Amino acid sequence: MDIAALSIIMSQSRVQESAGISVMKMAMDTGKESAAQMTEMMKNMAVDPNRGLHLDVRV
């Protein structure tokens, strides 16, 4: 194998690896945003502290 062909193959490999890492970073950022939104939504939920204390049973 000659040096030029080896150089081209290595360059293509680096480009593919770089593209894969970029896509993975985008996916991780999207996941972080979703988690932050979910956390914020849960903080804003109104919770009734009296709910669930009494059980009404009829026979």
pLDDT band at 1 (very low <50, low <70, confident <90, very high): low
The pLDDT of residue 59 is above 80: no
> Which tens digits make up the pLDDT trace of 40-53?
888 877 677 777 67
Torsion-angle region of residue 46: left (phi > 0), alpha (psi -120 to 50) or beta? beta
> Which tens digits make up the pLDDT trace of 15-43?
999 999 999 999 999 999 999 999 888 88
Residue percentage of the chain with pLDDT more than 70: 95
DSSP code string of 38-57: HHHHHHHS---TTTTS----
